[in-house]
Amino acid sequence: MEIAGIRDMLQAVQNGSMAIDAAMEQLRHLPYEDLGYAKIDHHRAMRTGFPEVIYCEGKTIAQIQGILTAMMGRGNRNILGTRAALEVYEAVRGMAPDVVYHELARVIVFHRQPIEIHTNGYICVATGGTADLPVAEEAAITAETLGNRVERLYDVGVAGIHRLLSNLDTLCGANVVIAVAGMEGALASVVAGLVERPVLAVPTSVGYGANFGGLSALLTMLNSCASGVSVLNIDNGFGAGFQAATINRLTAKEP
């Protein structure tokens, strides 16, 4: 509830152009759309210029379809569906003309307008291993759909440090680096020691035994002795892509 919006409403009430009950009604209905099982917040996407987002896990297909219909009825923003199983894609692919499913990343993109790149720089997504690709791709596609250029640098884990060191140009040239790693998750620390830009660390659940479902990599990243690292939830590629886009947007402040 942006304070400016309240001020506008107060002015409308003061100058008589809006009744009090209407203002009360406004407060209740304007900023989102109520489907009963979901309350869709069109407001945020409108302000940021970012696409609308649906986190599909834990929702029934009928609920997802309902939310999509509501979103498509409001403007023509692109829509990003994350954690979407194949059957979700199959149930919604017919709902718009240009729908792309990124299977590895489990992401559906409803392209309803061209994606515009507003920044000069790029976001670099690096992984420790090959098995981290699904999370990395979720991050990369999210960042791309939110209007960023992305460079991928996969399988550059610290056990063979030369693979990382021989790609310093790509790494150091980025505005933001997303470091995705499972097992011991040491990639983030090493990367943060090499670059001078913000590093977003994404632990993955890749590994077994004492990785405890990603806890190992998570703790590694939280305890990084390198400065300039902040951490996302385990396997949260979307969150990393979104935060990277939010940071990168700062470089394009005055359009």
- Shortest approach of a second copy to residue 220 CB, angstroms? 4
Considering only residues 83-112, where is the footprint of a second copy by CB under 8 A? none
The Cα 153–Cα 164 span in angstroms is 9
- Segment interacting with a second copy (CB under 8 A) among 3-11, 70-78, 88-96, 107-115: 3-11
- Shortest approach of a second copy to residue 97 CB, angstroms? 26
Considering only residues 144-173, where is the footprint of a second copy by CB under 8 A? 152, 154-163, 165-169, 172
- Shortest approach of a second copy to residue 149 CB, angstroms? 15
Paired residues of 182 in beta bridges? none
Secondary structure class of 46 (helix, strand, coil): helix
- Assess 214 for contact with a second copy (CB under 8 A): yes
- Segment interacting with a second copy (CB under 8 A) among 4-12, 70-78, 91-99, 108-116: 4-12
Q: How many chain residues interact with a second copy (CB under 8 A)? A: 112
- In the bound state with a second copy, the residue whose beta carbon lies nearer, of 34 and 98, is 34
The Cα 81–Cα 92 span in angstroms is 10
- Assess 70 for contact with a second copy (CB under 8 A): no
- Give the residue carrying structure tokens 């947007």: 249
The 7-46 site mask, x for binding a second copy (CB under 8 A), equals x--xx-xx-x---x--xx--xxx-xx---xxxx-x-xx--
- Helix then strand then coil, in percent of the chain rounded to 5, is 45, 20, 35
- In the bound state with a second copy, the residue whose beta carbon lies nearer, of 108 and 174, is 174
- Segment interacting with a second copy (CB under 8 A) among 69-77, 91-99, 108-116, 195-203: 195-203
The Cα 148–Cα 138 span in angstroms is 14
- In the bound state with a second copy, the residue whose beta carbon lies nearer, of 97 and 214, is 214
HSE-up of residue 121 (Cα within 13 Å, Cβ side): 19
The Cα 149–Cα 245 span in angstroms is 10
- In the bound state with a second copy, the residue whose beta carbon lies nearer, of 98 and 212, is 212
Q: Which has the closest alpha carbon to 37: 19, 14, 16, 63?
A: 63
The 40-69 site mask, x for binding a second copy (CB under 8 A), equals -x-xx--xx----x---xxx---x------
- Assess 78 for contact with a second copy (CB under 8 A): no
Considering only residues 215-244, where is the footprint of a second copy by CB under 8 A? 215-236, 238-240, 242-243
Number of neighbours of residue 160 by Cβ within 10 angstroms: 10
The Cα 34–Cα 119 span in angstroms is 35
- In the bound state with a second copy, the residue whose beta carbon lies nearer, of 114 and 209, is 209
Burial 169-204 (b: 16+ CB within 10 A, else e): ebbeebbbbbbbbbbbbbbbbbbbeebebbbbbbbb
